[in-house]
Structure 1
Amino acid sequence: MLSHHDRQELEKIERWFELTEPELAARLRSGKPAKPSLLRLAVLLGLDLMAGLLMLLGMVTNSPALLLIGLITVTAAVIAHLSRFGRD
């Protein structure tokens, strides 16, 4: 249980937060996460397509270098997708 002083301090912080960031405070109050930006979605989609094309091209041309770059790109895409879920 919080002391009276701690509750007052938390209320001050809450009021300051609502004054400085009203949109974020409203979203947090409603429990709805922010929608990802179109730029982020475009970058993720581009990264996915590039990874697939590099891997396909590496297999068709039998090029270990392209296959390796494709695998690295897939890894980057997976990390980018997972980081998105951590923020939602």
Structure 2
Amino acid sequence: MLSHHEQRELERIQDWFEHDDPHLARALGEVGSVGGLARSRTLRYAIDALAIGLIILGAMTLNFGLIFFGAVCLAAAACLHVTRWSETTPRHRRLE
């Protein structure tokens, strides 16, 4: 937990950023801001399908490299789903 003095200094710095460079302050204050392509629901499902396809193909051909790469893709897809990179607009965060 921050002391009263530290909190006041952080608020002063934040106010200075918002006054001096509002675009930078807005970019730093966005929570959950993600690039446009990474937000795509279709991309997330395509990565799921690719990962499952690689695992099935690797199991059919007994190619453990494909199985491993499919598992890595599946883990990346799970991260995309869990972090909920969605089409919602990012919130602006203010120091508390």
TM-score (norm 2): 0.49
Q: Which amino acid aligns with 1:78?
A: A
Larger radius of gyration: 1
Give the aligned CA root-mean-square deviation in angstroms: 3.5
Does the alignment pair 1:18 with 2:12? no
Residue 51 (structure 1) shift = 0.3
Task: Kindly tell me the number of residue pairs found equivalent between the two proteins.
Answer: 77
Residue 24 (structure 1) shift = 2.0
Residue 2 (structure 1) shift = 1.4
Structure 2 residue ranges without an equivalent (≥5): 85-89, 91-96
Specify whether residues 11 and 69 from structure 1 end up closer, same or farther in structure 2 by C-alpha distance, changes over 3 A only.
Answer: closer
Q: Which structure would you say has the larger RCO, counting Cα contacts within 8 Å and 6 or more residues apart?
A: 2
Q: Which amino acid aligns with 1:2?
A: H
Does the alignment pair 1:72 with 2:38? no
2-side partners of 1:55 and 1:6: how far apart? 51
Structure 1 residue ranges without an equivalent (≥5): none
1-side partners of 2:70 and 2:11: how far apart? 51
Residue 68 (structure 1) shift = 2.8
Larger strand share, 1 or 2: 2
Does the alignment pair 1:48 with 2:48? yes
TM-score (norm 1): 0.51
